[in-house]
């Protein structure tokens, strides 16, 4: 499609389920998420063993982003369990947040039962399903997510849930005030990067430059989890292969492979930078980009925006989500449906 495809009417023609509206609704979703956690009445439970966020896909990414936003303000381990089992080191002193947007994710249900058998304190975050039924029967607090989202579009809710539960169980200090400020900041970024912004906005320009390429997204420290988010959003929204890696590890392996990239196809590189990264890491990002650039169809360094860690992490989340939807529009594909995932779930159900 032409550059005009990233204007209102043309976007709506492709984005038939209004995924873009969910992305640009991030500011209000953050505020609503704070209210929903408060309404759940989560009691403060001291958990010396830290916090495990059990979830899959879009329901798990909030735990990763919360850990990134907290940084060195986390005083206990905060990890994400993406599978059927809790980590073997989990104890009755470990808080377990079971997060499943649908409430029927089989891996998360298995982790809920594992936490129950362990005697660990639990909190559930979901719209309903079997997970909510089990939690209410067991007297476990339920953070009520709003219905109507694709799980990946509920990132504000999953992130805030993980942040608030981390504070409630003593794994980190509260950043509730930061979330409020981040919502205001996100509103300004939506005006700049959203569909009503200029055609030369960063989000639209990145989408045009990444269009027709296989994106390799790299982060470091607080932006590593965001790089993973970019990769999965490009996968699901734009229906494209995309990959991610983390610096400085990338410089000990992946950087070598770029020398042959042109022989195989059109690859692009995006490096996510933040002022809280180690100074040597920031130097590595620029030096690595310069090494990759001659072999890439496009190569960029993108800097986070904002004053607080929470603002900056969410700024890059918003940017990546917008880029992924704009890429879908440029390809002429509706970003919402994920038919292959639904087919796999149906196949699994038949097998069981």
Active site residues: 236, 252, 345
Assess contact for 300 and 249: CB atoms under 8 A: no
What whole-number distance in Å separates Cα of residue 106 and Cα of residue 99? Answer: 11
What backbone torsions phi and psi does residue 195 show, to the nearest 5 degrees?
-60, -25
Assess contact for 270 and 215: CB atoms under 8 A: yes
Q: Which residues contact 272 (CB under 8 A, 6 or more apart)?
A: 217, 218, 219, 220, 223, 226, 227, 230, 302, 304, 316
Q: Which residues contact 173 (CB under 8 A, 6 or more apart)?
A: 70, 73, 75, 167
Structure-token pair, residue 102: 């649908």
What whole-number distance in Å separates Cα of residue 142 and Cα of residue 150? Answer: 19
What whole-number distance in Å separates Cα of residue 112 and Cα of residue 89? Answer: 16
15, 128, 144, 248 from 244: Cα distances, Å: 26, 32, 31, 13
Q: How many CA atoms lie within 13 A of 169 on its CB side?
A: 27
Assess contact for 214 and 242: CB atoms under 8 A: yes
Strand order in the sheet with 242-246: 242-246, 214-219, 267-273, 298-303
Token pair 């830290």 in the structure block, residue: 50
Assess contact for 135 and 115: CB atoms under 8 A: no
What backbone torsions phi and psi does residue 269 show, to the nearest 5 degrees?
-130, 130
77, 108, 116, 125, 290 from 90: Cα distances, Å: 11, 15, 12, 20, 43
């Amino acid at each position: 499609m032409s550059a005009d495809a990233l204007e209102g009417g043309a976007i709506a023609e492709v984005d038939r389920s209004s995924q873009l509206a969910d992305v640009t609704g991030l500011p209000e979703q953050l505020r609503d998420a704070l209210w929903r956690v408060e309404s759940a009445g989560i009691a403060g439970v001291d958990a010396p063993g830290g916090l495990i966020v059990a979830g899959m896909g879009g329901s798990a990414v909030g735990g990763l982003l919360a850990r990134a936003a907290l940084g060195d303000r986390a005083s206990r381990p905060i990890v994400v369990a993406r599978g059927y089992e809790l980590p073997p080191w989990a104890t009755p002193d470990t808080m377990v947040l079971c997060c499943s947007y649908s409430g029927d994710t089989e891996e998360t249900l298995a982790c809920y039962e594992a936490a129950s058998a362990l005697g660990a304190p639990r909190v559930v975050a979901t719209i309903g399903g079997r997970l909510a039924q089990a939690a209410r029967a067991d007297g476990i607090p339920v953070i009520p997510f709003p219905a109507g989202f694709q799980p990946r579009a509920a990132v504000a809710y999953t992130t805030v849930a993980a942040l608030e539960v981390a504070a409630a169980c003593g794994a980190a200090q509260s950043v509730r005030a930061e979330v409020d400020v981040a919502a205001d900041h996100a509103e300004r970024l939506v005006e700049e990067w959203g569909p009503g912004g200029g055609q030369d906005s960063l989000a639209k320009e990145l989408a045009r430059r990444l269009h027709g390429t296989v994106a390799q997204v790299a982060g470091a420290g607080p932006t590593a989890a965001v790089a993973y988010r970019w990769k999965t959003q490009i996968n699901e929204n734009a229906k494209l292969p995309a990959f991610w890696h983390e610096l400085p590890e990338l410089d000990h392996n992946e950087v070598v492979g770029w020398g042959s990239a042109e022989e195989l196809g059109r690859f692009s590189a995006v490096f996510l930078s933040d002022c809280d990264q180690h100074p040597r890491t920031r130097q590595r990002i620029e030096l690595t980009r310069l090494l990759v650039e001659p072999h890439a169809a496009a190569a960029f360094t993108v800097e986070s925006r904002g004053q607080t860690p929470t603002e900056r992490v969410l700024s890059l989340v918003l940017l990546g989500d917008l880029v992924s939807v704009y890429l879908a529009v440029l390809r002429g594909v509706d970003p919402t449906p994920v038919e292959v995932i639904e087919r796999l779930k149906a196949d699994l159900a038949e097998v069981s």
